Amino acid sequence: MDTTYVILAIVVILALGFDFINGFHDTVNAIATTVSTRALKPRIAIMLAATMNLVGALTFTGVAKTIGGKVADPMTLQHGEQIVIAALISAILWNLLTWALGIPSSSSHTLIGSLAGAVISAEGFDGINAGGFTSIVQGLILSPIIAFSIGFVVMWLFKVIFANQSPHQLNKGFRTGQILTAALQSFAHGTNDAQKAMGIIVFALMSANIQETDNVPLWVKLSAAVAMALGTSIGGWKIIKTMGTKIFKIEPINGFAADITSFGVIMTATITKFPVSSTHVITSAILGVGSAKRFSSVKWGVAGKIVVSWIITIPISMVVAAGVFQVIKFLFL
């Protein structure tokens, strides 16, 4: 059998494994507030998220094309498939570590950082598409700031609009509304996050000269969508606990405000073909909503630990992926 196809099979297995882990690592963020306010029972919320993720993943491909060509040009890399393998191993290791610790780290950050680190390790800095990589990082940095700001404004407006409403009736109404926002947010997650595994597979296919364009084949879309949906169905209880209870005590009106904010930000990014971190967007929206509710109610110590994990994810992933590539090079190239 041609070794190219063996290597590509390894790439696909690792990419789908990354997507599966992403399912229980990131997707649970979309339902964390819904579960914490008891708008839905955990198992029902998870199945809703899995279903909507599947639908979302099959709907868009723009982010996949960005991942597949903006960090580096796969057609010019000498060892593109091995670069992808190193990047995926690094990203999977980071995701499993942060999941075990219950830290809502970003699968997007670790994948982008890992891919960049592996490319630099293999080709030097000339292998990186500096403009494309910089624009992706800018989007990853700006999106949480935007989500925080919008979340703050939305919650402030809700406080003004519903100031004279009965808290019991208000929470009852917003608890029902959270079912809709959980579905929308899970759909948005699928439109953006599942695209990353698709993009990395396309990157490898182009590098191996199996295809010449960044179009996403149907089998890639289906396999990535199903892998993420299956991962979501398992759930990620540690991260749900962090997102839903440890930042501040979330009530239905707060959960609704955070969910509708993050849905809007993620969908805007998807439509403009920018990969963003759903984890960062959702967490930032929760922080913005909590700040508008009452600044002192936010547990800023927990928030600070989350932010630190955001800052260190890309550089650590770059170093790990660079090291993994050198091991692959020493053993097989």
Interval 4-14 mean pLDDT: 94
* CA atoms of 37 and 152, how far apart (whole Å): 19
Interval 207-235 mean pLDDT: 88
DSSP string, 85-108: HHHHHHHHHHHHHHHHHT----HH
* CA atoms of 169 and 115, how far apart (whole Å): 49
pLDDT tens digit sequence for 87-112: 999 999 998 888 787 776 788 889 99
pLDDT tens digit sequence for 41-92: 878 888 888 899 889 989 888 888 888 778 899 989 999 999 999 999 999 9
Q: Strands, DSSP E only, in the chain?
A: none
Specify the amino acid at residue 111. Answer: L
- Domain residue ranges of the chain, discontinuous segments joined by +: 3-326
Give the model's pLDDT for residue 177: 94
